[in-house]
Structure 1
Amino acid sequence: MRRFIHVRHSIWLFVIGCCGYATAQDSRPMIIPVESKQNAVVLQVDAKGQLSTIYFGTKLSNSATYQQIPATYQQTVDYSGVANAAYTAAGSKNLFEPAIAVVHADGNNGLDLRYVSHKTISRGPDVEETSILLKDPLYPFEVTLHYKVYKAADVIEQWSVIRHTEKGNVTLQKFASANLYLKASRYWLKQYHGDWVQEMQPEESQLTHGIKTLDSKLGTRANLFQPSVFMISLDQPATEDQGSVLYGSVEWSGNFRVDLELDNLDNLRIIAGINNYASPYILPANTAFETPPFLYTFSNKGKGDASRKLQRWARNYKILDGKGERFTLLNNWEATYFDFDEAKLKGLLKDTKELGVDLFLLDDGWFGNQFPRNSDHAALGDWQENRKKLPNGIAALDSMAQRNGVKFGIWIEPEMVSPQSELNAKHPDWVLRQPGREEHYFRHQLVLDLSNPKVQDFVFQIVDSLFIKAPKLSYIKWDCNAVIYNAWSAYQGKQSSQLYVEYVRGLYKVLARIRAKYPTVPMMLCSGGGGRVDYGALQYFTEYWPSDNTDPLERIFIQWENSYFYPAIASANHVTDWGKQSIKFRVDVAMMGKLGFDIVVKDLKEQERTFCKEALTNYSALKDVIWHGDQYRLADPHEGSVAAVMYLDEKQSSGVMFNYLVNYRYGEGSKLPIRLKGLDPCKRYQLKEINLYPEEVSTIPDNVTFAGDFLMTIGFNPQLNLKRTSVVIQINEAP
């Protein structure tokens, strides 16, 4: 039964005044607590209908005591009276960065939002959505704030819906999803930066007064330079297991913006959503503008607890098939690049079966005839099979895969077009380009105008045609390698300022159509490395590609940072020839997620091939706990010579511990025991080394048991050294 609570008249006796908004007949303010299992965002409505945030943090046992919170702070005077507004409007008496700024139909840019009503609706087991309606007393303009609370997960998604009935269009100059207000003595920001093969480089600093802005202006690959994920530690920098920390992320695959403003009261204002850069949005009357969710969770038990909350939420609610299975695979890219034909692929299909993985993935280079795809300079947009390479089409490859007892998948990059292509010549108006100006190319390609419904139909048909040709098609690798240069849309015309917003909306429309027709087919979200990973896109994809940098030593760091925000089941990790490490090291690192191979199998030595097969057998036994278990980061590679990561099942009875030496200087190794986490202190556990290279003998006895409290208090030494640079330990409750 659906739970529905609607509040318009309450014990505070709000009535509709002459201007059409609620006013209080009692001097006591109304409290609206938005609570999860352990956390709370508490909003307050004063006598004038001003909606403010009075608390963010750990939930109190008695919600009535939230009213006592404001009086406990004795800070600088708030001259504006709206510094802690729940959704700060520009153009009235606000003195800080606004969440929303508009130009009304009559040219006035003033906006004043007052409380009208709120309601709470059940959205499923343990999920509630509170919506709060705000209206301007002078203009027929309203904003509804939405707070979707995943109670057990301690995660909130917040967004806004903007409407009006003015006589003419309203221009939205800024349109944030959320506006948070935090109180602490000090604040530390952990943010990320990067570039191709250098994704997720962390930086942590104390926030000072003024505004720190995290944003992207790339249009498509939002997080090539700066991801939309971040952490805020309160009072002192949070550690893995201690401290108060907020995780935030904008669920949007285009330009995002997060403003972090430390105000004159020493409080932190967080305003997050779509980037309004070059994007004034023309909103007609009776039309809703819905912003993407801003996602956040909070923990007073450190970064590890916060990440496990977010990972559980992602598996249970957001990532496609987050509680399901994934395919291991062999990709042909590094084995062939663009140089292949049907006979060569037939051999790789046999290698797929021989290796023991589930699926063969055909990468770039299979399409284009007038302009063959023999390099990355041509053919994007011309998605017909290349007759020279594949005379019998992908249907023949699909059939071959079935005969070999494996599945078949394929690479596409449907949002892009090559200047040298039939599509570009036939539909120049489908391409983003500035009329009369020199064209600029990113990786020798241009971007299709996904704000155009005809282009949306075309992209959908690209995917749909693949399944028509190859009905057993089991996997799609969806790439996106270009940013938006030449930002002008023939379809949008004079409203091309809306392009950055409508492009992403168009992309989501296509993905929603694909998922409606093909709801279960696994798809990888790829983008020249980790250039497009966010929860706005991941609701349509089963996994993402963290980086083109598959050097396993580098991947330890990249996967480590991604794991704060994304679960292991979504991380596509491939074994390649990058790096100088052994095949064992490479496979061990790739096992910390969804395992794949991108190697020339026939070039492997016999012992290497034997090891890979045995490792796949071990992975099959461990993948459930890696994909669906709780992750504990044990030894930080940024802080020492060792990296250690552990996965543990819900019953605290089985798990796996991955250990790596990341510093190869003389005498380095695991000199100290590594403390495990999450175990039952009263249980006994048996630890056994697995993934041993053929003829290698473990130095760790496998017939010794340890008490859980011993392993968490004293620890366990995996005996890493220059000859043992990667050690995998299987953990099982002792009988």
Structure 2
Amino acid sequence: MTLISLLKRPYIYILSLVSSFAIAQSATIPITTNDHALVLKTDQQGRLRTVYFGEPLHSSSEYEAISSLYHFDDANDGIYNAAYTPSGTWSLTEPAIEVKHADGNSALELKYLSHSQKPQSDASIETRILLKDPLYDFNVTLVYKAWEAENVIEQWTEIQHKENGAVMLEKYASADLYFTGDNFYLTSYHGRWAKEMQCKEEKLENGRKIIDSKLGTRAMLLQSPNFILSFDQPASENEGKVILGQLAWSGNFKLDFEVDTYDNLKFLAGINPYSSTYALPANQVFKTPSLIYAISNHGTGEASRGLHRWARNYRVLDGQGERLTLLNNWEATYFDFDEDKITGLFKDAKELGIDMFLLDDGWFANKYPRNSDRSGLGDWQENVKKLPSGIGHLVKEATKEGIKFGIWIEPEMVNPKSELYEQHLDWVIRQPDRPEVYYRNQLVLDLSNPEVQDFVFGVVDKLFTENPQLAFIKWDCNAVIYNAYSAYLAEQELPQSQLYVDYVKGLYAVLERVRAKYPKVPIMLCSGGGGRGDYEALRYFTEFWPSDDTDPLERIFMQWDYSYFFPSVVTCNHVTDWGKQPIKFRVDVASMGKLGFDIVFSHLSEDEKAFCKQAVKNYDRFKEIIWHGDQYRLVNPHENDFSAVMYVNESKEKAVFFGYFISQRQRLITDKEPIKFNGLDPEKQYTVKEINLFPGKRSPLDSEKVYSGDFLMKAGYNPMINAGRTSVVLEIEER
């Protein structure tokens, strides 16, 4: 055994090796951020346990003593606080991993072998812990990446073996966490089309709470892999210990929360094992998706700001970059358009002052023209009747108007009424002997098949090859997987149970190729709304579409709930004709993210046009604060008759405030008290000016008065939000 130790903080390097399991190996492994510590320790049998989850100790040497304070062994169940619980041997608690070895045996033991901790180029410290079965040549590596300043941890598992034949992975969680405490509160999110991210908070009681998806694609449609876990009290914006987390995976997921007989919480997260047994050949590594979580001792606001900074700096594609404002034709034309109608909309985009025009669904297919969602999907050639001069002509005409041009695709899907379906039925996920089941009149292509991966990449590559000035892609994904069966896996004599996993791996393989050739082109991740939005996909996409429900009143709630997990730079918000609110209200709500329009601009009144043009100019002035500043949720719409959010830039010189009257009770008085701001410098002096005023309207607020940051955060400010002033936008600047 050798041991090398360099204990100078903040970086700890440890390497320890054992040549056999005859003597239990001892190790204490702290995984720390600035404000938190997760401590793992081996027991006398060499099994790894979670012994601490809390504020970091001043002296790292004292982590060694923590394990003696807790006693969670139970002869009937096993070890409750195992860091990665195996199945079939000493534990009867819910396992993190279940396997069938090459010889058919289902028992697994995992004991500590070694670990290392090293700084990475992305400012994280990566901890790798190797566990091994004493009887089988089967290894599991637990990997943790910790970003100190952001208080964010990303963890996953790598599984490998050298057995004589494939090992069947029947369950393979990404994380197995254990928390001690008195009470635990879970906020989870459910939904359906146009009703995504509907929140529910509940106290976790003894037993198991499971959140999962079995949809295959568009996995977030009914349940979300995002969660808030709060300790000892319900989640609060500025108080209490909380975890904001997400399983970063674009397919079936499972989150398992269990309050055990000691009233502590065991949490498992990973790919849903439902119909997903995976055959792992010898010497190959199976890497699970990442569980990503931000930790705060001071409420959800601090946690989400840390997660936002982490996402912008280290995960989202071009997270520190610009985004394009746009005009989309979908709600203006749906499938009914031609070349002249589209080029006519370019003038609207130019007059409005936005960056780009986006051509949505309906531009392709000839034998089975895409005139509805019932045909043409999969046949990615321009429809010669609608667009006789092709996409290239539209790109040139948009360029003449001084705007960019983007386009919609849905390359993972196919209509049964299409040439692709007729020519490549073997590329379609379907049971060959059963009736087909459709979602939005379409089926899913089999991305486990390398030929299908080539086809999907080719759809994107052809568009850019033929139109080098193409500036933007909207990538949609509307269908879920019914009748799961892959002709390709059958041909390769691989288990059909691999389809759900291999589909997502195939998708990521395509996206890797796209980004290798087109690294900078902005691409929106759309999935019939918010059916797909996770931090693994956002490695490849610059933004995502939260919901097809663009009613601004509903969007206030959705955007609030999405904001716990995602920075505003990745959320696409469009002004549409949904809802009954005036154009000002709609534009103000959409400005809290990446602004877009999906209206017929020429149909607006002159005052509405003037307002929109000025609002776009205002947005161009403050969008950097929205995209890259810190967000502070001030007044919760779930608990009040009005809502308020503000964004503050890094230097605290500028901020933007958004407030909305959301009550249907028109006589309700909501402007009787001030709203306390947050995030400002108490020593700085600020002016507060109302912007986005409708033509002919005057603000009742004094834009010349000067306030200290201390005053605005302690005494507050009254923006006069009421039934006559339903949306208020304030620009706060250092004097």
Q: Paired residue for 1:707?
A: 708
Whether 1:263 and 2:260 are equivalent positions in the alignment is: yes
Partners of 1:193 and 1:227 within 8 A in 2: yes
Map 1:674-689 to 2 at 5 A: 674-689=675-690
Whether 1:555 and 2:552 are equivalent positions in the alignment is: no
Q: CA deviation at 1:321?
A: 0.5
Partners of 2:177 and 2:266 within 8 A in 1: yes
Larger displacement relative to structure 2 (274-283 or 65-74):
65-74
Q: Paired residue for 1:606?
A: 606
AA aligned opposite 1:132: I
Q: Paired residue for 1:99?
A: 96
Deviations 1:551-570 (A, max 9, x none): 00000000000000000000
Q: CA deviation at 1:723?
A: 1.2
Deviations 1:446-501 (A, max 9, x none): 00000000000000000000011211000000000000112000001151110000
AA aligned opposite 2:443: L
AA aligned opposite 2:60: S
Q: CA deviation at 1:440?
A: 0.3
3-state DSSP of counterpart to 2:573: strand
Partners of 1:83 and 1:95 within 8 A in 2: no
AA aligned opposite 2:528: G
Q: Paired residue for 2:458?
A: 461
Deviations 1:352-372 (A, max 9, x none): 111110000000000000000
Q: Paired residue for 1:17?
A: 20
AA aligned opposite 1:16: S
Q: CA deviation at 1:348?
A: 0.5
3-state DSSP of counterpart to 1:203: strand
TM-score, with structure 2 as normaliser: 0.97
CA distance in 2, matches of 1:106, 1:46: 29
Map 1:334-373 to 2 at 5 A: 334-373=331-370
Which of 306, 318, 323 aligns to 2:320? It is 323
Which of 157, 169, 172 aligns to 2:166? It is 169
Paired positions, count: 722
Larger displacement relative to structure 2 (357-366 or 41-50):
41-50
List runs of 5+ in structure 2 lacking aligned partners: 1-9
Partners of 1:76 and 1:264 within 8 A in 2: no
Partners of 2:78 and 2:93 within 8 A in 1: no
AA aligned opposite 2:32: E
CA distance in 2, matches of 1:78, 1:235: 28
Map 1:556-575 to 2 at 5 A: 556-575=556-575
Q: Paired residue for 1:504?
A: 504
3-state DSSP of counterpart to 1:535: coil
3-state DSSP of counterpart to 1:115: strand
Partners of 1:688 and 1:700 within 8 A in 2: yes
Q: CA deviation at 1:580?
A: 0.4
AA aligned opposite 1:437: R
CA distance in 2, matches of 1:284, 1:77: 36
Q: Paired residue for 2:536?
A: 536
3-state DSSP of counterpart to 2:558: helix
Deviations 1:675-725 (A, max 9, x none): 101111121111000000001000101011111111111111110111110
Q: CA deviation at 1:8?
A: 4.2
Partners of 1:15 and 1:23 within 8 A in 2: no
Partners of 1:636 and 1:644 within 8 A in 2: yes
Q: CA deviation at 1:6?
A: 6.0
AA aligned opposite 1:690: I
3-state DSSP of counterpart to 2:24: strand
Map 1:249-648 to 2 at 5 A: 249-493=246-490, 494-648=494-648
Deviations 1:20-78 (A, max 9, x none): xx633xxxx42100111211110101232111110112222111222332333466856
Larger displacement relative to structure 2 (62-71 or 103-112):
62-71
CA distance in 1, matches of 2:308, 2:18: 43
Partners of 1:90 and 1:101 within 8 A in 2: yes
CA distance in 2, matches of 1:608, 1:437: 54
Q: CA deviation at 1:122?
A: 2.0
Q: Paired residue for 2:3?
A: none
CA distance in 1, matches of 2:71, 2:371: 68
CA distance in 2, matches of 1:281, 1:303: 37
3-state DSSP of counterpart to 1:657: strand
Q: CA deviation at 1:287?
A: 1.3
3-state DSSP of counterpart to 2:495: helix
AA aligned opposite 2:679: G
3-state DSSP of counterpart to 1:16: coil
Larger displacement relative to structure 2 (662-671 or 445-454):
662-671
CA distance in 2, matches of 1:231, 1:160: 22
Q: Paired residue for 1:721?
A: 722
TM-score, with structure 1 as normaliser: 0.97
3-state DSSP of counterpart to 2:270: strand
Which of 85, 90, 102 aligns to 1:88? It is 85
Q: Paired residue for 1:114?
A: 111
CA distance in 1, matches of 2:611, 2:694: 6
Q: CA deviation at 1:296?
A: 1.0
Q: Paired residue for 1:698?
A: 699
CA distance in 1, matches of 2:109, 2:257: 22
AA aligned opposite 1:699: P
AA aligned opposite 1:726: S
Larger displacement relative to structure 2 (86-95 or 363-372):
86-95
AA aligned opposite 2:527: S
AA aligned opposite 2:604: L
Which of 242, 246, 256 aligns to 2:243? It is 246
Partners of 1:189 and 1:206 within 8 A in 2: yes
Alpha-carbon spacing, 1:6–1:168, altered in 2? closer, same or farther (3 Å): farther
CA distance in 1, matches of 2:702, 2:713: 19
CA distance in 1, matches of 2:703, 2:345: 38
Partners of 1:88 and 1:98 within 8 A in 2: yes
Larger displacement relative to structure 2 (89-98 or 458-467):
89-98
Alpha-carbon spacing, 1:310–1:166, altered in 2? closer, same or farther (3 Å): same
Deviations 1:249-294 (A, max 9, x none): 1010000011111111211111111111001111111111111111
CA distance in 1, matches of 2:104, 2:595: 57
CA distance in 1, matches of 2:176, 2:243: 14
RMSD: 1.4
